[in-house]
Amino acid sequence: MASDMVEIRWHARGGQGSKTAATLLAYVALAEGKYGQGFPDYGPEREGAPMRAYTRISSQPIRTHSAVYTPDIVVVLDPTLLDSVKVTDGIKDDGVLVVNTSDSPAEIRKKTGLTTGKVYCVNATEISIKEIGRNIPNTPMMGALLKASPLVKLETVKHDVEKKLKSKGDRVIQGNYRAIDRAYEEVQVG
């Protein structure tokens, strides 16, 4: 395993865009000359069912092709999963937990039992509804993630979001830009 590799595990419900975010982040890493890997982990899940996705980013080729068991970063797109899924399983002692929630980092620490690392919280649901017009928290969560760990440049993410959403029109693209920027600025750390 590459010594600088960062492994991210995404927890969400089907339809919230975690697969898209995980793979988009990997593509952004590639666009910046790094190595990236992004993929979902699901079987017969349907919209609304809990699911996971993974991203790996490194300056060296990635030879690991499995789920992420000891993540550096865990991103939770649906806060209701905190009550039913042990999202912090395997997280490294200096790991980062990024949660879509209106709760404070201290409240999330208490809820998850996480005593090490850093916790970042942002209300990505509210941001996505306000800026995009729909409850799809993946792009604001990418903004929060990049504030927590600047793995890639914010501008490169926006460029790839624009390419992915080109067919949806300028209004959707601009809404996603605003959602990314707001989450980047509004995320709380504790």
Rounded to whole angstroms, the Cα distance separating 120 from 98 reads 5
User: Would you state the pLDDT for residue 48?
Assistant: 81
Average pLDDT value for residue range 55-72: 96
Name, in order, each residue with C-beta under 8 angstroms of 31's C-beta and a sequence gap of 6 or more. 156, 159, 160
Instruction: Please report which confidence band the pLDDT of residue 2 belongs to, taking 50, 70 and 90 as the band edges.
Output: low
The pTM (predicted TM-score) of the whole model is: 0.94
pLDDT tens-place string over residues 125-184? 999 999 999 999 999 999 999 999 999 999 999 988 888 887 777 888 999 999 999 999
Distances (CA, A) of 110 to 100, 106, 177: 16, 6, 32
**pLDDT exceeds 70 at position 45:** no
